[in-house]
Chain A
């Protein structure tokens, strides 16, 4: 394998998860913050809020997972290795 391509792929794999995680982190933090606020204001709605929160966490998290898929493709199924 061309060493330049290998190096670039590894750097790119690291960046793709790392950068994707920033957005997810901010998003999950915001969602969790508002959920806690909602529970504090209305403790009897905790069950419903938790359900919605977990479901939205799954969605937010999948954005990072897309980055992970890209990283895995770069590492294990690199299309440019020729």
Chain B
């Protein structure tokens, strides 16, 4: 009994999925289940936190106000005083979803629940989720730039000089790639490290690594929303063309460093 429980906990099943077929498309069922679970948690939190609002907040209202202010600060520092307010909902949704799903993967004993194939884990443990999130970010910053500046948005591809066009176009592809791989890799690495340690020593020893995993997954949620904010801010900032060599050097340096 104990043996089977532990072997259940320590099962490593990367790349195995519980396929559902919706229409003609196979989807990863275990991701959908946990995603909806995360949605329900966030929904319950926001409903019960904001049901009767008071002048002096207490209990859950404190928490929800703190989260709101936190996200608003991220947006303000990344996007700037003028436009940040309309992007707070987007950044807030992304931050909350990633944060709650990472922590649900680290804190809840999903592995105890048996499913036909694969295993339940954090939704961000699957590359499809993270690619979807980063594609949303790309769409968001294109939308922001185009709605703010119209077709003038495309001027940034040839700034500060025309020969940087390939690099600027390439950036649009590397941004979502690095965003999605960073989140996916970090979450999967945390779960793998914990799973491997649990296989070796099932008690007590993995706890520090679980705590480290909680910390890094919170940081990753922060990093994802900060970067999404930075990209949006970059897209909608007022254009200043600096046709001098210093700016050019800075741009080239930035490309090689990032």
Contacts and interface: CB of A to CB of B under 8 A. Distances in A.
Interface of A: 54-55, 58-59, 61-62, 65-66, 68-69, 72, 75-77
Given A55-B223, A58-B219, A65 B15 contact: no
Contacts of A77: 15
Contact of B14 (A55, A59, A76): A76
Size class of the contact patch on chain B: 10 to 19
A69 B223 contact: no
Interface string B1-37: 0000000000000110000000000000000000000
Nearest to B178: A62
A69 B15 contact: no
Given A59-B223, A62-B181, A62-B182, 19 more contacts: A54-B219, A55-B226, A58-B223, A61-B186, A62-B178, A62-B185, A65-B181, A65-B182, A65-B185, A65-B189, A66-B178, A66-B181, A66-B182, A68-B188, A69-B185, A72-B14, A72-B188, A75-B14, A77-B15
Contacts of B14: 72, 75-76
B184 interface: yes
Interface of B: 14-15, 178, 181-182, 184-186, 188-189, 216, 219-220, 222-223, 226
A66 B219 contact: no
30 contacts: A55-B219, A55-B222, A55-B223, A55-B226, A58-B216, A58-B220, A58-B223, A59-B223, A61-B186, A61-B216, A62-B178, A62-B181, A62-B182, A62-B186, A65-B181, A65-B182, A65-B185, A65-B189, A66-B181, A66-B182, A68-B185, A68-B188, A68-B189, A69-B181, A69-B185, A69-B188, A72-B14, A72-B188, A76-B15, A77-B15
